Amino acid sequence: MATTYANYENFGTYANEIVNNSTTAYNRVKDAYTAVEGLNNPNGWRGVNYDNLVSSFNSLVDSFNTTFKNIQEDIPASIRNIASLYASFDTSSVSKAADTYDKITELEKSNTTALTFEIENVSSAKDSVNSNLDEAKNNMVNIKNTMKNMNTDWQGDEYEAISGKIFNFVEILESNMNTLKNDFDKYFSETNQEYISTKAKVENQVNIG
């Protein structure tokens, strides 16, 4: 079965919604990385668990860059190519992502075992990471809803193939975002307990002295 029904006049709107939501989500994920990067200083967070967190973020850099590029370039291009078979469709109505990406890059580790943990600054960065990733996840929901709405204007094998790719890409990104949030919670909690324990020992020694 090929395309059984398609209202190509609306394709530009759907494709642009996908590109715009993906671009916003991409920027929010970059902001989350920037928040973690900003902690690597004497007034932030350094030590083993910070470096573990950085390793987690770095392990997903390629996945984020590749998957976002697929959504922002490959999917709209596929929609343009299919719709261009119909003379009435204006392919210029489908946005193109920028040819050059300001890619997410790997973060630097603190490379020290000495603990630095300024709780207020770290908590602020944690809130920033969570809020940015939550916003990005909302954009993922918007993309899925766009593809579902598109099904009213497009049915058949071509729609199923493209929507399947989109849903797979979104699932990858949502899983990556959940991993970052969970790992930040994990290493934050472990380090906070370590900080409280170390602080108590120091205070106890002072009192004994």
- Model pLDDT for residues 144-181, shown as the tens digit of each residue: 999 999 999 999 998 999 999 999 999 999 999 999 99
Q: What is the pLDDT of residue 87?
A: 45
Whether pTM exceeds 0.85: yes
Q: Could you give the CA distance from residue 1 to residue 3 in angstroms, rounded to a whole number?
A: 7
The tens digit of pLDDT for each residue in 20-56 reads 999 999 999 999 999 999 999 999 999 999 999 999 9
Q: What is the pLDDT of residue 89?
A: 52
Q: Could you give the CA distance from residue 178 to residue 181 in angstroms, rounded to a whole number?
A: 5
**Considering the chain, what percentage of its residues have pLDDT values greater than 90?**
68
Q: What is the pLDDT of residue 144?
A: 96
Q: What is the pLDDT of residue 25?
A: 97
Q: Could you give the CA distance from residue 175 to residue 56 in angstroms, rounded to a whole number?
A: 13
**Beta strand pairing status for 154-156 and 3-6?**
antiparallel
- Residue 167 gets the label, from left (phi > 0), alpha (psi -120 to 50) or beta, of alpha
The tens digit of pLDDT for each residue in 75-130 reads 888 887 777 776 455 555 555 554 556 799 999 999 999 999 999 999 999 999 99
- Residue 62 pLDDT more than 60? yes
Q: What is the pLDDT of residue 96?
A: 53
Q: What is the pLDDT of residue 114?
A: 94
